[in-house]
Amino acid sequence: MHHHKDCTPTPHIEAKKGDFADTVIMPGDPLRAKFIAEAYLENAVLVNNVRGICGYTGYYKGKRVSVMASGMGQPSIGIYSYELFNFYDVKSIIRVGTCGSMHKDLHARDIIIAMGACTNGSFAAQYRLPGTFCPIADFDLVRRAAAIAEEKGLTYKVGNMLSSDTFYDDANSALEWAKMGVLGVEMESAALYCNAARAGKKALCICTVSDSFIYPEENTTSAERQSSFTKMMEIALEIA
């Protein structure tokens, strides 16, 4: 399944070489990609709609930027980010997503900047490393995201995220990670960070807390998630 540099379009992306900007902002949800393109980008053009995954390229404050959905889970973001990094010459991917919080100081709508990503998945097994690989974000992107969050007066934390392969976890084990200082749980970052590392590219995940294991009464609806989580989108766009 290892493909070569020249295979664009790919089986999953119909865009041509050059259709994507250097930076791609990547929400999980195709409707959120559409929302970002319509709300923030000027002259946005739909460059991919295979499987309804919605990729757009336009301009934000005069800078060319793309936005495309990743779908849910590590295998899905694993495919899209691999193709963008390796076939479309994309330099940076910034994931903007939602996560569950497992930290007492993080509430619904607060922001987590994922400096690292733990996982219960086996995405990194493909690299045949003689130990455990630590998927981490690009420091320059982390630093800039934190500075912008600071500037905007947002409540945010920088730290470790858990990328879980099981949303409905039979062992209900996500909270076990909290004792190691892990801030939240989502399903994509570790694979994104692995792909960036392997390709020598940059990646960052910025998540908005959509629900909390500690304060379940604060949980948000999918409609709120789709359009009200604009602060992380603005951070990502400012970095781009």
Question: What pTM was computed for the model?
Answer: 0.93
Q: Which of 210, 213, 215, 212 lies closest to 229, judged by CA?
A: 210
Q: Which of 124, 88, 122, 117 lies closest to 198, judged by CA?
A: 124
What is the crossing angle of helices 230-239 and 30-40, to 10°? 70
**Contact present, 59 and 174 (Cβ < 8 Å):** no
Token pair belonging to 29: 């949800």
Cα 213 from Cα 102, distance rounded (Å): 6
pLDDT at 127: 98
pLDDT mean by block of 10 residues, the chain; 240 residues: 64 84 96 94 90 90 97 97 96 97 94 98 98 98 97 96 96 93 98 98 96 85 67 93
**Contact present, 172 and 153 (Cβ < 8 Å):** no
pLDDT at 1: 54
Cα 69 from Cα 34, distance rounded (Å): 9
Which residues are identified as catalytic? 211
Query: Would you call 48 helix, strand, or coil by DSSP?
Result: strand
